Chain A
Amino acid sequence: MMDESRRRMGGRRRSHHKFSEERELELRLGPPGEEQEQQEEQEEDCWSHQHNENKGERNSDDSDQSPLSLGYFSAQRIYNFQPKASSFLQNMSMVGKESKDATSSQPCRSEVMEFHNGAVCAEKKPLSSPSSANTAAPNNSSQKRSAAGPVVGWPPIRSFRKNNASGSTSKPPLGSHHHNQQQHHHHHLNLNNVEDKVANTTNKELVNNISGTPNKGMFIKINMDGIPIGRKVDINAYDSYDKLSSVVDHLFRDLLSAQRRNSCGAGTVQKQKQEEEEKTMILDGSGEYTLIYEDNEGDKMLVGDVPWHMFVSTVKRLRVLKKSDLAALSLGGKQGHINH
């Protein structure tokens, strides 16, 4: 249960636009995302009904476009961005065969980017699919499809499996590895002030992070008042608050749906806006519930206060709370956090 002994001032919440700016300023190896956005507007054969909807939500995904974040590549294959103006199908065939300067500006990378990390577009809830499928021409199969960003439950792999795949070939060579590993264990045991009882999750996570595993799943508990069964979500699977919010929504939709019904507009509200509202309901303060987290120092914070990557590195567990309960519990803000 909540630790009432920690009381902090509430923090100011940033808007999501700030996140995208920060993302764009980060060092990347891939081409900047903005060019790509413009290109997509011009694309005709985009099954772009969903495409255009997603445009506005594209914010924090650009950094994922660097080749480093793509996971496995053998030495021979160099990832490339293919500057073809033709349909995405052709693009798919070209990618991976030629090596090109990855930083050259690309007129038509949009379709390639769609499949790139799957993180380009903000996550589309399954709810949106029926409407997009409805509006599409049934005969032209490519048009009504949008390979949007990470989707709930795809690929169909159970979460504990994602958690345990340690995810990197970047381990040091065989001979030296064993002793280095031991030293790492000791070193971080001391730093962390972790009690020496048993090997625990924090320790292991830290060690594993040291060995450079960008895609390792990091599971944290999430609970909601009123639901006895908690869940674990893989924080590393998301790269924005939007997506986290969407997943939380899925997990606890029963209780959240009630308040969504109350706060959604009438039938005149467009689908897209509705979905956006739903997605950010839990974070933008308009609903009855809100999301807070406990960081690695035990402080309770409002989710959304800090940049995403900072959130990911400090979050230890999540909780969905009624906002009325929130008032009674003062949380740590950025200010309070630094001052301890």
Chain B
Amino acid sequence: MTHSGSSLPDLPNSTSTSGPMSEIRSPPPDRVLEIVLENVLHFLTCRRDRNAASLVCRSWYRAEALTRSDLFIGNCYAVSPHRATSRFRRVKSLTVKGKPRFADFDLLPLNWGANFSPWGSALADSYPWLEKLHLKRMSLTDDDLDLIARSFPSFKELVLVCCEGFGIAGIASIAANCRLLRVLDLVESVVEVADEDEEVMDWISCFPEGETHLESLMFECVDCPVNFEALEGLVARSPFLKKLRLNRFVSIPQLYRLMHRAPQLTHIGTGSFCASDDVAVGDQEPDYASAFAACKSLVCLSGFRDILPDYLPAIYPACANLTSLNLSYADVNADQLKPVILQCHKLQTLWVLDSICDEGLQAVAATCKDLRELRVFPVNTREEVEGPVSEVGLEVISQGCRKLQSILFFCQRMTNAAVIAMSKNCPDLVVFRLCIIGRYRPDPETQEPMDDGFGAIVMNCKKLTRLAVSGLLTDQAFRYIGMYGKLVRTLSVAFAGDSDQGLKYVLEGCPNLQKLEIRDSPFGDAALRSGLHHFYNMRFLWMSSCKLTRQACQEIARTLPHLALEVIDSQEDKADDHIEILYMYRSLDRPRNDAPKCVTILQ
């Protein structure tokens, strides 16, 4: 069915394909167009463009399938590994995403699925030339990592985001066996580490001797001590290393040494950013600022996991060039932040804790005129009446940072006025995620629901593709979203809405909706049915603690055969038919067979 991928394929009825001389003869006329097409398609990198090209006709479909080298699987259960590897024969780089996002917040049972193993074996069989693997929210074991390490001699990049199930042994195998490794990024993953009293495997020492190809090494989430001597040696023999993100077991004096070893670093995760335990009182400490001055290409700083704010001034030399600063683990107040932030004129990305208060946000707004992304995380996650950041901070940010594109803001109180102001001041907003921690909170000034604020966002921010809502919201908010949120692709809803009508507005009004996650909202069967026309266009729908019944889900499963409806419930034989969690996604293949007992897949 498919060609081998070379420019001159073997035709079944060809008479002149023996020996090297046949390569020189021009191809048959009906193949010319395909060859041209394949060569042209090589330049097509965007997967949406490729998807479109593949729909033109069969030969374009084939050509596109042969030339796609970057494969993106948005939902690991949407297609089987076999289907993917059968269609795309020359994949060098693969991205697979597994669990839905609400798994991050413990809403999904631990052993729900998203196991990498079936993909691993399929890849090992079909793509021995594989170079890059990027996994998000997948469950993979040490054996899986070992398989990756041993199956792909050209392997260059491993990026694991929000993954789990593996431990140090797996990482060590990657380090030891992937000789051409350039990127090893372990981000926000849960890594099984030894207990405090057990021996910790020294994975850093598993990297081979001699110069490495390492360009990026991120192990912030590997929560166990590392052999610093080995790490220093590794950094010293990695001349291409640009990105280094350390875990909290690396102290600031150790960071100092590493930075002097690798002044070419552009991205640094600073580790603990405090002194190690065995520094005695009165010890002479090195001039940490000199390290930051030495790294003249530094543009991105993160880490600060156990920061001693006294040390923060050490980063001053780097501030003027910083485009990205992540202080979201650093409990610093406004006074500690200001001297730093007032120097960060080029900052585009800032992640902070709300410990900086509205006052700190004021300083950000005053200086960071180029800010594109802001995330403000809460120190205290309990529902309070007041908090350190509020509508005041949001409003000053909107006034100072007009180029803002993405915001994630946790707070205890927010007004419609501030949100409306942001919608007008920041027309470039693509991502607006506001989390008022207290559920069902109205506008504290007017006692109104937060409908108008979010309505203004969808109305005025014409580029908006991602929205997360909170606070007291009626169906009206969803009416606005349905009316104006025409580009919205991802919508997160929690504790909001009055009736089925709310969800209906969204499902009927948002043609680009792909990811919808809803929890604890009064949307029921009628609302779900209103999306039948659209569900095949979506990557997934998540509804937990809503008003759905199993019967309605069953009907939908029968109506739309390529839809997998996973009902996750901990009870059977209940008095009513209501279900706890519905996770629904389109799928070309048979329902998965690796689901735990609490998951029922309706078909």
Chain A residues within 8 Å of B, Cβ to Cβ: 70-74, 77, 79, 89-90, 92-93, 95-96, 112, 115-119, 126-127, 129-131, 133-134, 136, 138-139, 141-142, 144-145, 147, 150-162, 164-169, 171, 174, 177-179, 181-183, 185-186, 189, 196-204, 208, 215, 221, 227-232, 237, 247, 249-254, 256-258, 260-261, 264, 267, 271, 317
Contacts and interface: CB of A to CB of B under 8 A. Distances in A.
Residue among A95, A168, A182, A208 with most chain B CB within 10 A? A182
Contacts of A167: 331, 379-380
Closest 9 CB pairs of A and B: A118-B383, A153-B105, A71-B380, A126-B545, A198-B225, A257-B570, A72-B388, A130-B578, A129-B545
Nearest to B276: A199
B139 interface: yes
Contact of A174 (B277, B310, B329, B442): B310
A181 B387 CA distance: 28
Interface in B275-295: 275-282
Interface string B3-34: 00000000000000000000000000000000
B331 A169 contact: yes
Given A71-B379, A260-B571, A144 B522 contact: yes
Interface in B371-401: 377-388
Residue among A112, A156, A258 facing the most chain B CB atoms (10 A cut-off): A156
Interface stretch (B50-58, B120-128, B353-361, B531-539): B353-361
A127 B580 contact: yes
A155 B520 CA distance: 13
A251 B221 contact: no
Contacts of B597: 254, 257-258
A155 B381 contact: yes
B97 interface: no
B282 to A, nearest CB: 8
Nearest to B330: A166
Contact of B377 (A161, A229, A249, A264): A161
Contacts of A267: 573, 575
Interface in B413-464: 435, 437-442, 444-445, 447, 449
B371 to A, nearest CB: 21
B444 A92 contact: yes
B328 interface: yes
A160 B221 contact: yes
B267 interface: no
B232 interface: no
A161 B328 contact: yes
Main SS of the interface on chain B? loop
B72 interface: no
Interface string B494-534: 11001100000000000000000001101000000000000
Interface in B167-217: 188, 190, 192, 195-196, 200
B561 interface: no
Contacts of A162: 381
Contacts of A154: 105, 439, 494-495
Contacts of B492: 156
B544 to A, nearest CB: 6
A203 B275 CA distance: 13
Nearest to B274: A181
Contacts of A168: 331
B109 interface: yes
Given A138-B522, A251-B110, A182 B279 contact: yes
Contacts of B65: none
15 contacts: A72-B355, A117-B384, A118-B383, A126-B545, A127-B580, A129-B520, A153-B106, A155-B410, A156-B104, A165-B353, A166-B331, A169-B331, A171-B309, A183-B281, A186-B280
A294 to B, nearest CB: 10
Contact of A134 (B278, B309, B379, B547): B547
B107 interface: yes
Nearest to A92: B444
